[in-house]
Amino acid sequence: MHSLGAIEVDFIDSDLKSRGIVSEDLRDNLLDHICCIIENELSVEDDFHEYYEAILPRFFKNQLSEIQTETDNLLKFKNFYIMKKILKYSGAATVALTILGAIFKSAHWPGAALLIILGGFSFSVVYIPLLIILKLKDEESKIDKLVHTFGLILAIFLSGGVLFKIMRWPFANNLMFYSTLLFTFVFVPIYFITRFRRPDLKFNTTVNSVLMIAVGGIFYSMFDMSYSRKYEQLMVEDHIYIHESAEKLMASNNRLLLTEPENKTALKLHSLSAAINSRIEALAETITTSKTTSNLRQLSNGLDEKVNSYNLQVIELNMPELTKVEMKAFQRLNEINAVLAMNVLARTQQQLALNENCYLSSMLTKSQAIE
């Protein structure tokens, strides 16, 4: 049994303070515990200072200041450990749902979309926001906290953009493009500049920056992956051929229509075809002028009623040679490039002209048979 004096107690108190225990209540509790251990275990032959250094590791893993950090976290943020558990579980859920969603989607199994949405939601809405909050609680400088928070916010938008792209939701390209642009050309340079000058972080900062630049550069380069010049030229030639073929069929239809001036069905089918053709020509003119398809959604919306009326007429005619016009082709024009969009429009014109030609030819054959 060893009785500690005032000098030894003061030494322990000042040493605890120098090791990062700044809270007076915490320091008093530690002091009381350490004093009790020393008084109960220290023998007369043992050296006080050596024994004191020997028992200190009982209170921490790496350094004594960990106790102060844990105490601060508990005092400042009561749900700290709960949030850490949620972060861990949401991270595991994100990985599991994303992998399962990818497997289901590649195998075309039902439920793939739901799994991908849940995985993206878990990552963007739960995991990263919690990571931001916990990062703000770390003992880092304000600049480091701001830089990390900025990067994590960009990660939310980028992951959301990827999810929107997979699900073919609107604004996917904008989310991915601007978040990748800011990440690659703004966040990474700021991250590198603010951390590279610190010797202890120099190596890790360099490695992380190279990896982030590589990933960001790959993402950024994918936004303008146009077709090869040769393939694009072939599509242009294909469009010209289809368009000329459609025009020849239209001219033939006009001549055939003269042979059936009293046929109201033929006139109606011709009128419906002409209305759709007129809107297609407007779309083609817009594409030719702007060289892009990004502004076609509003123009193509007006086609719905005309296409529906045309398809109802095709159904009423009940001829196996006639085919309905698919509205999906117009609804997704803004998702493809200008050359491919022109091909889609030309093929629709060809389909309209071919339908009308089949009907008028059949009417002419019947008339000749009667005669």
Q: What is the pLDDT of residue 116?
A: 85
- Main-chain dihedrals φ then ψ at residue 199, nearest 5 degrees: -55, -40
- Main-chain dihedrals φ then ψ at residue 246, nearest 5 degrees: -65, -40
pTM assigned to the model: 0.46
Q: Is 108 left (phi over 0), alpha (psi -120 to 50) or beta?
A: left
Q: In 293-311, which positions are buried (b, 16+ CB within 10 angstroms) versus exposed (e)? A: beebeebbeebeebbeebb
Q: What is the pLDDT of residue 59?
A: 78
In three-state secondary structure terms, 246 is: helix
Contacts of 299 (CB under 8 A, 6+ apart): 279, 282, 283, 286
Instruction: Extract the runs of DSSP E, i.e. beta strands, from 49-107.
Output: none
Sort 83 into a burial class: Cβ within 10 Å, 0-12 / 13-18 / 19+.
Answer: middle
CA distance 256 to 268: 14
CA distance 94 to 129: 14
Contacts of 190 (CB under 8 A, 6+ apart): 147, 150
Longest C-alpha distance within the chain, in Å? 133
Q: What is the pLDDT of residue 75?
A: 64
pLDDT in tens, the chain (371 residues): 567 777 888 888 888 888 777 778 878 888 888 888 877 877 767 777 777 788 787 777 777 777 777 777 666 666 677 788 888 888 899 899 989 988 988 888 888 888 888 888 888 888 888 888 777 766 567 788 888 888 888 888 888 888 887 777 777 778 888 888 888 889 889 988 888 888 878 888 888 888 888 888 887 776 655 555 676 777 778 878 888 888 888 888 888 888 777 788 888 888 888 888 888 888 888 888 877 777 666 666 667 788 888 888 888 888 888 888 887 777 777 777 777 888 888 888 888 889 888 888 888 777 766 65
Q: What is the pLDDT of residue 96?
A: 92
CA distance 154 to 147: 11
